[in-house]
Amino acid sequence: MKILYMGDVIGRSGRDVIIERLGEIRARLAPDFVVVNGENAAHGFGITPKIADEFFAAGIDVVTLGNHSWDQREIMPYMDGEPRLLRPLNYPAGTPGRGVGIYPTTRGRKVMVVQLMGRLFMDPLDDPFAALEKELAKVRLGAGAMDAIIVDIHAEASSEKMSVGHLADGRVSLVVGSHSHVPTADSQILPNGTAYQTDAGMCGDYDSVIGMKKEAAIHKFVRKIPGERLSPAEGAGTLCGVLVETDDRTGLAKSVAPLRLGGRLAETWPG
């Protein structure tokens, strides 16, 4: 099975590059399952029902979120009724929505997606490691059980993301980081067969400060006083993601490689 994961979508430029390039990606790479992190899709802050519906209409199977899950208040009732939209699993009990789901592919296979959020330099949520262990105790990867398991760890610290990767190694197909908005160069298969990349990068304009217009971001650092509100850069977007091919028998990774298309970064196709 081929799984495509695309990193944090930042505003319109990120949405546009995904919609524009997804057909070409499907023709060239033929992914069986597509996940995107959409937590910055609505002008850089959260996601709306309309944007989520546009992603699903484009053929994206699951949209994950993160620390901006609730920035657009109208998403709360929508999330309760849309199982393909995931907020972090380790929010407290009673939080709207869900943090894990099991989804069929067009070929009749089952894919589990888990969304976690880290705690280092982030909101003090419940323990993401314990939350992941609880879910993995319920399922088994491969051998006619779960065909693939994807873990999106939305976190600031690379050490926390790496720790999630090694904790889950051999029990999931892919652990991929989001939130940092910069693609890391460490795509690899861990010793027990799990594909891993610390951060997939963002889908947005890289002539920016992590997707936001440069001037307002620089002002925050230089002046240390309130200024213009951050807003997404509006230039040509770069699509950043990672493609994993799994073994149909075990569900573990056979290959993993970055994908970068359009905008300012050097174009990179898997293989």
Q: What is the pLDDT of residue 256?
A: 98
- E-state strands within 136-271: 148-154, 174-178, 188-189, 195-197, 239-246, 253-261
Q: What is the pLDDT of residue 127?
A: 97
Q: Which residues are catalytic?
A: 68
pLDDT of the chain along its 271 residues, tens only?
999 999 999 999 999 999 999 999 999 999 999 999 999 999 999 999 999 999 999 999 999 999 999 999 999 999 999 999 999 999 999 999 999 999 999 899 999 999 999 999 999 999 999 999 999 999 999 977 899 999 999 999 999 999 999 999 999 999 999 999 999 999 999 999 999 999 999 999 999 999 999 998 998 899 888 777 889 999 999 999 999 999 999 999 999 999 999 999 999 999 8
Which domains does the chain carry? 2-261 (3.60.21.10)
Of residues 167, 162, 213, the one with CA closest to residue 184: 162
Question: What count of residues does the chain have?
Answer: 271
- Check: CB of residue 134 under 8 Å from CB of residue 19: no
Give me 135's structure tokens. Answer: 């879910």
Q: What is the pLDDT of residue 98?
A: 97
Q: What is the pLDDT of residue 225?
A: 80
- Check: CB of residue 154 under 8 Å from CB of residue 39: yes
- Check: CB of residue 175 under 8 Å from CB of residue 165: yes
Global pTM?
Answer: 0.96
Alpha helices (H) in 1-48, listed in sequence order: 11-29
